[in-house]
Amino acid sequence: MRIDLHTHSRVSDGTQSPAELVADASRAGLDVLALTDHDTTAGWAEAARAAQAEGLGLVRGTEVSCTAGGISVHLLSYLHDPADAALAEVLADSRSSRDGRARAMVDRLAEDFDLTWAEVAAQAGPGATIGRPHIADVLVARGYAADRGAAFATMLAPRGPYYVRYHAPEVTEAVERVLAAGGVPVFAHPRASTRGRVVSEDVIRELAAAGLAGLEVDHRDHTEADKARLRALAGELDLLVTGASDYHGAGKPNRLGEHTTAPEVFEQIAERGRLEVVR
């Protein structure tokens, strides 16, 4: 069984439709895929139809944008009820704040570069969660950056003049909301220090006490030392250990199935989540 529990489609900052992503996952030899677009469940229905047609297991998930006292962190929620009003409101608030933030960043960039909001919006699928990757794609198309990574390292960097923050819930609150919605909360890439500051182990201990289910350990943004430390912490706190690609289509070098999750861990997640795995 090859199980990849963290991927993105064009419903957030991936570059493929949910159906294309599922077809690619099938071609890559995966047995189970989780679709985890940022702050949305809008891709679930299309992905579910495609997964049933391809004979692939689909875990419906969301990567929830959060903050831990000012540090940006991502929480994966698996198999939660999309109709849960409190969690849906958190996600809607993040999407709307992200939208205003992306417009503000484009306004700032437009003072120095030739680009428009319409071009940025056109990079994202309908109803997609808009983020810096979509702005990056326009900067690349316009020839201001070689690829997304170069745009992130320069014009879109948090310390740069064009960066604008967006509102996200505190991660402890997000864990509680995910649990209340029947979801299984897993901390995404907890030590990915290339993306910015990371939380202390105390924060992870607090989240475990609040009901966090697992840590995403096997991820390309972790060093071997990060993985060893996280594995030890997961053992101590009785947390599940997952691995995943964080695939973004052509938007990042990450390849489907480059890291995977053990079948026993997947079974635990499937058992704890309120929704069924689509098969």
The residues that touch ligand AMP, with contacts defined as CB under 6 A, are 13, 38, 131-133, 148-149, 152, 195, 248, 251-252
Does residue 13 bind Zn ion (CB under 5 A)? no
Quote the least distance from Cβ 83 to ligand AMP, whole Å. Answer: 25
Residue of 230, 169, 189, 237 lying closest to 36 (CA atoms):
189
- CB-based contact 46:19 (threshold 8 Å): yes
Rounded CA-CA distance 269/78 in Å is 8
Residue 152 CB, nearest distance to ligand AMP (Å)? 4
Which residue in the set 4, 13, 24, 226 belongs to the binding site for Fe ion (CB under 5 A)?
13
Q: Is 246 in the site for Zn ion (CB under 5 A)?
A: yes
Choosing among ligand AMP, Zn ion, Fe ion, none, which partner's interface includes residue 46 (Cβ < 5 to 8 Å by kind)? Answer: none
Least Å distance between CB 107 and ligand AMP? Answer: 16
User: Pick from 188, 199, 203, 215: which binds Fe ion (CB under 5 A)?
Assistant: 188
In the bound complex, what is the minimum distance in angstroms from residue 13's beta carbon to ligand AMP? Answer: 5
Farthest CA pair distance, the chain: 53
Distance CA 100, CA 103 (A): 5
User: Shortest Cβ distance from residue 245 to ligand AMP (Å)?
Assistant: 12
- Rule CB under 5 A: say whether 64 interacts with Fe ion: no
Residue nearest to Fe ion (CB): 74
Site for Zn ion in 28-87 (CB under 5 A): 63
Count of C-beta atoms within a 10 Å radius of residue 159: 6
Residue closest to 30 by CA, chosen among 227, 183, 186, 243: 243
Q: How many residues bind Zn ion (CB under 5 A)?
A: 2
CB of 66: closest distance to Fe ion in angstroms?
A: 10
Residue 149, contacted partner among ligand AMP, Zn ion, Fe ion, none, CB below 5-8 A by kind:
ligand AMP
Range in contact with Zn ion (rule: CB under 5 A) among 25-33, 211-219, 241-249, 254-262: 241-249
Which residue's beta carbon is nearest to the bound ligand AMP?
A: 131
Q: Which is nearer to ligand AMP, 167 or 279 (CB)?
A: 167
Nearer to ligand AMP, 60 or 248 (CB): 248
Range 71-110, binding Fe ion (CB under 5 A): 74
Minimum Å gap between C-beta 50 and Fe ion is: 20
- Using the minimum distance from each CB to ligand AMP, give the nearer residue, 57 or 133: 133
Q: Which residues bind Zn ion (CB under 5 A)?
A: 63, 246
Q: Which residues bind Fe ion (CB under 5 A)?
A: 13, 74, 188
